[in-house]
């Protein structure tokens, strides 16, 4: 039970936004904000018009002309300061994420921690925008490559990680010398105001140009401005595969670049040799945590037939102990679905699974919290499927774990790779050769492949993204920064002669 009244919640939000440095109005606008915690409306804030969005792109494009020449380590200072402010306001921003995405405070603050971590990473990266030097085939010549900023980066982010994914893109883009125009999910506009205000403070503290960062608030129609404006060199979009199918050709038709992080349908294989205790905890967190609303959520379990009954019984028992409710109560592990659409989608998928021979072993029922039908809480579900069927190929953004069994390892890999999505994957095994096979070219076809941990909860240091219908993009760590830059190959002749490459003679 949470004891906070609606008015108290409103003032908590106001305080958090103020602490982050947001000084604008929270009234009289046209964009209704809402919380999935209670299903109640919050503030009505000012949305952005298409004309304003276009003006922001123009301003960011203008700012780019100076920002690209600011030394990269100095650009890094803005990100360093952002990281400091995020550390100071981890709880404030965490509260906003909790209110709009419905996460436990530990997960909401964990999301802010991802922002702090990427700031550390990008600060280091600002001194490591390395290009290679290659041996020239000609005497007295030097061949090398240089990385340059590309321009305005449009970031479109989803409700489920309302601020972290934005920061992966923004921290990298800004140190690379790009400017950023961000269109967050309209369901998380308050979190966006908080995160954006903290960046504005960092820019101010460092004496840099505020126009390097802009925020567009509104529905998809205003976000579409980013897709079509030729000044937006890169569109980085997180969301559904359906959205990606629209974004990619639209941006490509004007030869813009895109970075897509779309649907996942993540599975874990559990081998007979697995440490079942460890597997159980990994599975339950990845499948039921964040109410199944991570793109990395585990949606399929492919378990060896010899241990299936035992493991499934343990999972069902663990699910029965999960506390479901308003996550302002710190004992709660599973918060709400984001809205009625998510709840209806889950019910539809459960129906389809039953029609396709599935048996719901636990969960799926609505949970009424605090006597209101305005919020949508649900018991995470486990569904045993007789075989791979159509529904198992779909991503339903809700906590449904489909269980399939296998008898030999090749069959497990085939089942694993049979879906159209390719984000995250895992194997639980103590057999080294199974683990290696899973990680090999003939193993998991996903962008993320783990051994003895679940599918979710990736660290920022690795490149994040996936294959097939997940969209192929990579953001966050490793060399994902290269997506935010363009490469120039340079040949410098200091020989005083003009030898031609490939030994060609002319004149």
For residue 455, the surrounding DSSP H or E stretch is none
Q: Which is nearer to ligand UN1, 290 or 349 (CB)?
A: 290
Question: What would the x/- binding string for ligand UN1 be over residues 115 to 154, using CB under 6 A?
Answer: ----------------------------------------
Of 54, 172, 296, 429, which lies in the binding site for ligand UN1, with binding defined by CB under 6 A? 296
Q: Rule CB under 6 A: is residue 104 a binding residue for ligand UN1?
A: no
Nearer to ligand UN1, 54 or 169 (CB): 169
Q: Output the smallest distance, CB 272 to ligand UN1, in A.
A: 27
Q: Closer to ligand UN1 at the Cβ: 294 or 384?
A: 294
**Shortest distance (Å) from residue 491 CB to ligand UN1:** 41
d(CA 108, CA 16): 14
Report the alpha-carbon distance of residue 211 to residue 200 in Å, rounded: 9
Contacts with ligand UN1 by CB under 6 A: the residue count is 11
- Report the DSSP beta bridge partners of residue 9: none
> What does the alpha-carbon distance between residue 465 and residue 263 come to, in Å, rounded to a whole number?
10
Question: For ligand UN1, which residue of 116, 237, 295, 338 counts as binding (CB under 6 A)?
Answer: 295
Stretch that binds ligand UN1, among 67-75, 250-258, 288-296, 341-349 (CB under 6 A): 288-296
CA–CA gap between residue 35 and residue 375 (Å, rounded): 8
180 part of the interface to ligand UN1, by CB under 6 A: no
CA end-to-end distance (rounded Å), the chain: 87
CB nearer ligand UN1, residue 48 or residue 236:
236
Q: How many CB atoms lie within 10 A of CB 27?
A: 8
Distance CA(270)–CA(413), nearest Å, equals 11
What is the closest distance, in whole angstroms, from the C-beta atom of residue 448 to ligand UN1 in the complex? 8
- Provide the β-strand partners of residue 81: none
Among the residue ranges 39-47, 133-141, 158-166, 414-422, the one whose residues contact ligand UN1 (CB under 6 A):
158-166
User: What's the closest the beta carbon of residue 317 comes to ligand UN1, in angstroms?
Assistant: 25
Indicate which single residue of 81, 103, 294, 300 sits in contact with ligand UN1 (rule: CB under 6 A).
Answer: 294
Q: Measure the CA–CA gap between 85 and 419, rounded to whole angstroms.
A: 41
Q: How many helices (H) and strands (E) does the chain have?
A: 14, 23
Return the residues of window 193-222 that contact ligand UN1 according to CB under 6 A.
none
Burial class (CB in 10 A: 0-12, 13-18, 19+), 497: exposed
Cβ contact 424:466 at 8 Å: yes
Q: Binding to ligand UN1 by residue 161, rule CB under 6 A?
A: yes
For the CB of residue 463, give the shortest distance to ligand UN1 in the complex, in Å: 12
Q: Which is nearer to ligand UN1, 116 or 307 (CB)?
A: 116
- Scan residues 443-502 and list those touching ligand UN1 (CB under 6 A): 456-458
- Strand segments (E) across 239-380: 257-261, 266-270, 298-304, 359-362, 366-369, 372-378
Closest approach of Cβ 167 to ligand UN1, in Å?
11
Nearer to ligand UN1, 238 or 396 (CB): 238
- Per-residue binding string, ligand UN1, 73-92, x by CB under 6 A, is --------------------
Looking at the Cβ atoms of 260 and 382, the one nearer to ligand UN1 is 260
Classify burial at 266, counting beta carbons within 10 Å of its beta carbon; exposed 0-12, middle 13-18, buried 19 or more.
buried
CB 89 to ligand UN1: min, Å = 20
Tell me which of 125, 126, 160, 394 binds ligand UN1, using CB under 6 A: 160
Please report whether residue 238 would count as binding ligand UN1 according to CB under 6 A.
yes
Give 179 or 455: the residue with its C-beta nearer to ligand UN1. Answer: 455
Question: Contact between 165 and ligand UN1 (CB under 6 A)?
Answer: yes
Span of 96-104, 160-168, 183-191, 373-381 interacting with ligand UN1 by CB under 6 A = 160-168
How would DSSP label each residue in 30-65?
SEEEE-TTT--EEEEEPPPPHHHHHHHHHHHHHHHH
Measuring CA to CA, which residue among 168, 136, 141 is closest to residue 155? 168
**Minimal distance in Å, beta carbon 446 to ligand UN1?**
12
Listed ranges 22-30, 65-73, 247-255, 290-298: which one lies at the site for ligand UN1 (CB under 6 A): 290-298
Q: Which residues are catalytic?
A: 261
Q: Which of 110, 121, 118, 116 is nearest to 84 (CA)?
A: 116
Q: How far is the CB of 266 from ligand UN1 (least distance, A)?
A: 10
Q: What is the DSSP string of 419-440?
A: SSEESEEEEE-S-HHHHHHHHS
Rounded Cα distance, 379 and 399, in Å? 8
What is d(CA 379, CA 396) in angstroms, rounded to the nearest whole number?
15
Q: Among 112, 186, 179, which Cα is nearest to 156's?
A: 186
Between 114 and 395, CB nearer to ligand UN1: 114
| Cα 94–chain centre separation | 16
Q: List contacts with ligand UN1 (CB under 6 A).
A: 114, 160-161, 165, 238, 294-296, 456-458
């Amino acid at each position: 039970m949470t004891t906070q009244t609606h008015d108290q919640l409103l003032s908590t939000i106001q305080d958090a936004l103020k602490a982050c440095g947001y000084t604008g109005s929270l009234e009289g606008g046209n964009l209704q904000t809402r919380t999935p915690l209670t299903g109640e409306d919050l503030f009505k804030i000012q949305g952005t018009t298409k004309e304003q969005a276009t003006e922001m792109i123009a301003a960011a494009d203008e700012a780019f002309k100076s920002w690209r020449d600011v030394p990269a380590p100095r650009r890094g200072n803005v990100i360093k300061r952002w990281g400091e402010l995020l550390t100071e306001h981890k709880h404030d921003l965490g509260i906003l994420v909790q209110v709009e995405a419905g996460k436990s405070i530990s997960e909401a603050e964990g999301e802010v921690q991802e922002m702090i971590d990427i700031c550390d990473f990008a600060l280091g990266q600002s001194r490591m925008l390395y290009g290679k030097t290659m041996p020239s085939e000609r005497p007295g010549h030097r061949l090398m490559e240089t990385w340059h900023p590309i321009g305005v980066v449009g970031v479109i982010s989803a409700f489920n990680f309302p601020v972290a994914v934005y920061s992966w893109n923004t921290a990298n883009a800004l140190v690379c010398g790009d400017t950023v125009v961000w269109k967050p999910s309209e369901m998380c506009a308050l979190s966006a105001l908080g995160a954006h205000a903290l960046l504005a403070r960092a820019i101010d503290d460092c004496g840099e140009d505020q126009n390097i960062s802009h925020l567009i608030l509104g529905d998809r129609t205003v976000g579409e401005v980013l897709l079509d404006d030729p000044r937006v060199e890169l569109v980085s979009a997180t969301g559904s595969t359906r959205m990606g199918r629209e974004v990619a050709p639209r941006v490509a038709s004007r030869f813009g670049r895109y970075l897509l992080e779309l649907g996942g349908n993540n599975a874990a294989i559990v081998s007979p040799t697995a440490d079942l205790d460890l597997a159980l905890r990994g599975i339950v967190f990845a499948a039921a945590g964040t109410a199944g609303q991570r793109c990395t959520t585990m949606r399929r379990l492919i378990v060896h037939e010899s241990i299936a009954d035992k493991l499934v019984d343990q999972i069902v028992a663990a699910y029965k102990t999960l506390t479901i409710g308003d996550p302002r109560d710190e004992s709660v592990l599973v918060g709400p679905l984001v809205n009625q659409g998510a709840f209806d989608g889950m019910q539809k998928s459960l129906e389809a699974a039953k029609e396709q021979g599935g048996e719901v072993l636990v969960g799926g029922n609505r949970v009424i919290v605090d006597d209101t039908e305005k919020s949508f809480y649900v018991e995470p579900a486990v569904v045993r499927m007789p075989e791979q069927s159509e529904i198992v190929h779909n991503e339903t953004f809700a906590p449904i774990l489909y269980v399939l069994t296998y008898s030999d390892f090749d069959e497990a890999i085939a089942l694993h790779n049979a879906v159209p999505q390719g984000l995250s994957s895992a194997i639980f095994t103590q057999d080294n050769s199974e683990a290696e096979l899973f990680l090999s070219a003939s193993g998991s076809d996903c962008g993320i492949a783990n051994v003895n941990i679940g599918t979710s909860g990736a660290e920022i240091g690795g490149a994040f993204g996936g294959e097939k219908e997940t969209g192929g993009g990579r953001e966050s760590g490793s060399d994902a920064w290269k997506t935010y830059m363009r490469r120039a190959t340079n040949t410098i002749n200091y020989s005083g002669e003009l030898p031609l490459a490939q030994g060609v003679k002319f004149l």
